[in-house]
């Protein structure tokens, strides 16, 4: 199903022509209105009229999240404050947040892209949407909220948490789809199980859009099984409107990134040079339609790769592989580079393992993986636990090259969060 068949299936030459026009317009806009970019252009000796092809993108400066913070609150605004309609901030980990402004057109485009993304997986106006993203300054909930309204769905602005109320709403209003984080999805699955709810039998749920943090294929399967529905990967970031940047289609193999609104590059994060076609690297995005706060070559720090083959659904916008983590998520333990997602991949593929885990780093580079056992399957035999523990430690060693301590815990013993979950606790004294 298509929301806007013409633009979603536009042939590549026409799409690239549109991208070039929009890139040229964006570059002119920031050169005229944003001193930060004007100075960068002067340093690099580049003028808006030098952009003749999409390859000229590489002449333009990168923008980083540090630039956003340094220009907080209004430094990167490209329209008079009067023309800004909405302010969002990004959670960020330290210091000042990033302030993101939207014009009326930006608000509308953000909703449009979410509408496109929902319909791509079969959502129609008959669907009932229970939005379990966090409402507030984050883009996560509001942008998907307006997207679903645009499709004509009934929208229930539930927000995350309060699972008893979630269940009541899902039952009373026959909710058919939800949008939530992987960690809350896993928690909700456990909650339903504990309350004897069989989602396939007792609820009308058909789809979950899951995103806002990285998760593995194994986690995806667990959510599908636990909630009795289809999971679609949902990717976005506040700097690029929020959710709706790239979503999965019904093929569920990679996420179409809406290339009429964003230009994609994949670079080697260490050198800034493009990687070879199809190779993994850092995703860099340039906004093509944003008015209030256009960003050139924004370094997302998200690690992914482009699927080069065309998709069977007929959409021409290229797909991204599942995000495997952020370039700055990387841990260095005993000199080895490790991404938390590598650990999650091993844990979630192992039968007997439950839904929650925590990576804890202590002392002088000691790594402990605390992992919950599955609700069912454990018959109380110590030998069984010892075997699982050593299997996990061995599989982890093959994946991450060091052998961590594995601690098995009863289901439900690790903390859960409603928003983004903290998977790593680093208390090392190095």
Binding site for ligand ADP (CB under 6 A): 90-92, 138, 211-214, 233-238, 300, 302, 323, 326
Q: In sequence order, what are the residues at sequence separation of 6 or more whose Cβ sits closer than 8 angstroms to the Cβ of residue 263?
A: 19, 23, 54, 57, 285, 286, 288
DSSP assignment of 228-292: TSEEEEEEEEGGGTEEEEEEE-TT-SSEEE-TTTEEEEEE-TTT-PBPPTT--EEEEEEESS-SS
Look at residue 311 and give the partner it binds from Zn ion, ligand ADP, none, a contact being a CB closer than 5 to 8 Å depending on partner kind.
Zn ion
Query: Could you tell me which stretch among 180-188, 269-277, 315-323, 403-411 binds Zn ion (CB under 5 A)?
Result: 315-323
- Closest to Zn ion by CB, 18 or 311: 311
Does residue 313 belong to the site contacting Zn ion (CB under 5 A)? yes
CB of 235 to Zn ion, least distance (A): 14
Backbone angles phi, psi at 6, to 5 degrees: -60, -50
Q: Toward ligand ADP, which CB reaches closer, 10 or 418? A: 418
Q: Could you tell which of Zn ion, ligand ADP, none binds residue 249, using a CB distance below 5 to 8 A set by kind?
A: Zn ion
- The three-state secondary structure class of 31 is helix
Shortest approach of Zn ion to residue 234 CB, angstroms?
14
The item of ligand ADP, Zn ion, none sharing an interface with residue 313, based on CB under 5 to 8 Å by kind, is Zn ion
Residue 207 C-beta: closest distance to ligand ADP, Å: 15
Smallest separation, CB 305 to Zn ion (Å): 16
Chosen residue from 192, 249, 333, 392 binding Zn ion by CB under 5 A: 249
Least Å distance between CB 233 and ligand ADP?
5
Report the SS3 class of residue 42: helix
Q: Which is nearer to Zn ion, 87 or 311 (CB)?
A: 311
User: 144 with 25: CB under 8 angstroms?
Assistant: no
Distance in Å, CB of 313 to ligand ADP, minimum: 19
Residues 6+ apart with CB under 8 A from 127: 148, 151, 153, 154, 176, 177, 206
Select the span of 108-116, 122-130, 208-216, 241-249 touching Zn ion (CB under 5 A): 241-249
Q: Residue 237 Cβ, how far from ligand ADP at the closest point, in Å?
A: 4
* C-beta closer to Zn ion: residue 256 or 420: 256
Identify what 91 binds: ligand ADP, Zn ion, none; CB under 5 to 8 Å per kind: ligand ADP
Smallest Cα–Cα separation from 256: which of 322, 179, 317, 314?
Answer: 317
Q: How far is the CB of 311 from ligand ADP (least distance, A)?
A: 17
- Which entry of ligand ADP, Zn ion, none binds 416, CB below 5 to 8 A by partner kind? none
| DSSP string of 111-180, one letter each residue | HHHHHHHHHHTT--TT-EEEE-SPPSSSHHHHHHHHHHHHHT-EEE---S--HHHHHHHHHHTT--EEEE
Helix or strand (DSSP H, E) at 99: strand 98-103
Q: Which residue has the tokens 């859009």?
A: 209
Q: Which helix (H) or strand (E) holds 299?
A: strand 298-304
Partner from Zn ion, ligand ADP, none contacting 323, C-beta within 5 to 8 A by type: ligand ADP
Residue 311 near Zn ion by CB under 5 A: yes
CB of 5 to Zn ion, least distance (A): 13
Structure tokens at 420: 């983004």
Which listed option, ligand ADP, Zn ion, none, makes contact with residue 396 (CB within 5 to 8 Å by class)? Answer: none
Say how far apart CA 209 and CA 207 lie, in whole Å: 7
Q: Toward Zn ion, which CB reaches closer, 275 or 313?
A: 313
Q: Which is nearer to Zn ion, 249 or 343 (CB)?
A: 249
CA distance 378 to 385: 8
**Which one of ligand ADP, Zn ion, none is in contact with 102 (Cβ closer than 5 to 8 A by kind)?**
none
Q: Which residues bind Zn ion (CB under 5 A)?
A: 249, 251, 311, 313, 315
């Amino acid at each position: 199903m298509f929301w806007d068949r013409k633009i979603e299936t536009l042939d590549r030459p026409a799409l690239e022509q549109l991208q070039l026009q929009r890139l040229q317009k964006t570059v002119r806009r920031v050169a005229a209105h944003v001193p930060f970019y004007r100075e960068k252009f002067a340093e690099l000796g580049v003028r808006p009229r030098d952009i003749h092809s999409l390859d000229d993108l590489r002449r333009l400066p990168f923008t980083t999240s540090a630039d956003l913070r340094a220009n907080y609150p209004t430094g990167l605004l490209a329209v008079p404050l009067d023309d800004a309609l909405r302010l969002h901030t990004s959670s960020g980990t330290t210091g000042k947040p990033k302030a993101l402004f939207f014009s009326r057109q930006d608000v509308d485009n953000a909703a449009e892209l979410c509408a496109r993304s929902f319909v791509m997986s079969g959502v129609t106006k008959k669907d009932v949407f229970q939005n379990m993203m966090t409402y507030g300054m984050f883009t996560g909930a509001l942008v998907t909220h307006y997207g679903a309204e645009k499709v004509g769905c009934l929208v229930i602005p539930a927000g995350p948490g309060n699972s008893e109320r979630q269940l009541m709403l899902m039952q009373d209003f026959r909710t058919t789809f939800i949008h939530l984080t992987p960690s809350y999805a896993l928690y909700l699955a456990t909650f339903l199980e504990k309350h004897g709810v069989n989602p396939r039998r007792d609820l009308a749920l058909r789809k979950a859009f899951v995103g806002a943090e990285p998760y593995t294929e194994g986690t995806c399967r667990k959510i599908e099984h636990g909630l009795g529905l289809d999971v679609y990967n949902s990717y976005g970031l506040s700097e690029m409107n929020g959710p709706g940047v790239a979503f999965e289609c019904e093929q569920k193999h990679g996420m179409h990134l809406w290339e009429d609104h964003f230009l994609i590059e994949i670079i080697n994060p260490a050198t800034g040079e493009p990687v070879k076609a199809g190779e993994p690297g850092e995703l860099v995005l340039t906004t093509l339609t944003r008015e209030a706060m256009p960003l050139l070559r924004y370094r997302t720090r998200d690690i992914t790769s482009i699927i080069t083959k065309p998709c069977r659904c007929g959409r021409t916008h290229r797909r991204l592989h599942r995000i495997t983590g952020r370039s700055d998520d990387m841990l260095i333990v005993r000199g080895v580079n490790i991404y938390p997602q590598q650990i999650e991949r091993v844990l979630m593929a192992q039968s007997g393992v439950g839904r929650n885990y925590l990576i804890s780093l202590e002392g002088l580079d000691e790594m402990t993986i605390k992992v919950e056992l599955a609700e069912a399957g454990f018959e109380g035999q110590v030998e069984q636990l010892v075997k699982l523990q050593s299997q996990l430690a061995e599989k982890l060693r093959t994946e991450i090259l060091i052998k961590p301590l594995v601690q098995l815990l009863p289901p439900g013993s690790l903390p859960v969060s409603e928003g983004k979950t903290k998977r790593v606790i680093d208390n090392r004294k190095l």
